[in-house]
Structure 1
Amino acid sequence: MKKHIHQFSGINSLMAGVFEGLFPISEIKKHGDFGLGCSDGLAGEVIIDCCHFYEAKSDTPLRDMSDQEHMPFAQITTFNPDKIVNFTDINKSNLYNELAKYTLLDNVFVAVKIEGIFDKMQIRRPKNHNKAYKTALEVSQDQVVDHFENKEGSLIGFWTPEFFQNISVAGFHLHFINTEKTLGGHMMDFSISQGTLSYEVKQSLDIKLSDKESYLKQDLKIKDMDQIIKQVEN
């Protein structure tokens, strides 16, 4: 069984301002059914769940994207959990310790799914705009952050080892989608009293880079890139 995560572009490209949809969804979805990313122009957070690509914006309901649309960044895999466990009292700060009860994760990638009724959560989503942003940090500072309580749904995403920062997002990178498929976004904080935790260890990250001019001409050697990624993603 293949244990790959397929990544389209590097996270540093996105941080540097390459927001153009470089990769068609029709190509991305050949590589799995589970993951996350962002939509063309950094217009929305994307949740990949059961082969559907859902775009989350702050001012519109969740939208099921078409195969003809493009994305500037995505991570996707086929999710076949190594283990599914029931848990009590997980939050952003103790998720690492909870997962570490079951597997060694410091030096590998892990696909992660958390399901249940979230007592509290804080998600971030882009809003419609006509501004010409130059970097992902500028975009993140102008997004909408909402707080919700008692929302049933799933967290979908990945754990990435620290030494892969600047290629991917080190630590946990998680997107939320509710059960009704009407609400989603980038998870900034959460707490959940009980639910199920599913995970699958992945030993390979396959990266596809773009041949488009907007990518090839972009200077990706940015000072303090590590700090910028942490500001944007956390």
Structure 2
Amino acid sequence: MPADRTASTHPLYLCAPVNALVEGLYEENIPFTEVKRHGDFGLGTFDDLDGEMVMLGGRIYQITADGEASEVSEGLHTPFAVVTFFEPTFSTAFDEAMAYETFLKHLESLLPSPNLFYAIRVTGRFSHVKARSVAKQHNYRPLDEAAHEQHTFDFEDAEGCLAGFFTPAFMASLNVPGLHLHFLTSDRRRGGHLLSCRPETVIVEIQVIHALELSLPMTHDYLTRDFSRDTSAALEEAEK
């Protein structure tokens, strides 16, 4: 790895493995006061899968099923969140419009290795962003079923921020493998889980992370659940 791309001293923190979410455990009741002890940047969801979560600068935003975003109290709870203290290792500019597939290739080409974690923030102007959110769900409903009822939103000529992570493929039972990004407009009023985008002029900031901190829930549901099922196909379906 180049000397100017050495890994951050801050670990990636998971308050629960993503497999629990895939299996429909939406009420782990993990307080955001605990999550914020481990980071000021990240993404996730809320108890009962009640919207998408984005954390920027220590502020928590909830994006509900109508695509509307608002800052919420750290007193709320989550079944799944991924955070770190964001200190970019390096940054670069993408200063021309590009298709989503080209954007993904350019983004992944910046990553020194597919076997590390990366926190990623992309800020600037997008000619188009397609995002989604899911309505509040009942506990135990599998995530891929809930995702079939997702609400999608199209943002045209939007300024905003993509926030999220790259996770190695071999960590798929713990976190969403590959790129996982949420979008929030610059006025912090709209957003969602990213489905596609066309960036025009953006700044890409990347933090190389080589350490993982994982907490395991202590709820009865989690402790008694059988997690032996291969959930990779279900997770891929839910993330589309």
TM-score by length of 1: 0.93
1:203 to partner: Cα distance: 0.2
Counterpart in the other structure of 1:122: 130
Q: Which has the higher strand share?
A: 1
1:96 to partner: Cα distance: 4.4
1:33-44 alignment runs, 5 A limit: 33-44=40-51
Identity %: 28
1:109 to partner: Cα distance: 0.5
Separation in 1, partners of 2:81, 2:136: 21
Q: 1:36 to 1:140 in 2, by over 3 A?
A: same
Separation in 2, partners of 1:191, 1:177: 15
1:1-234 alignment runs, 5 A limit: 2-59=9-66, 61-87=68-94, 88-128=96-136, 134-223=141-230, 225-234=231-240
1:143 to partner: Cα distance: 1.5
Q: 1:68 to 1:95 in 2, by over 3 A?
A: same
Listed as ranges, the gaps of 5+ residues in structure 2 are 1-7
Give the alignment's Cα RMSD to 1 decimal: 1.7
User: Which runs of structure 1 show a deviation greater than 4 angstroms over 4 or more consecutive aligned residues?
Assistant: none
* Equivalent residues of 2:66, 2:151 under 8 A apart: no
1:95 to partner: Cα distance: 3.8
1:90 to partner: Cα distance: 4.6
Q: 1:90 to 1:49 in 2, by over 3 A?
A: farther
Corresponding residue pairs, total: 232
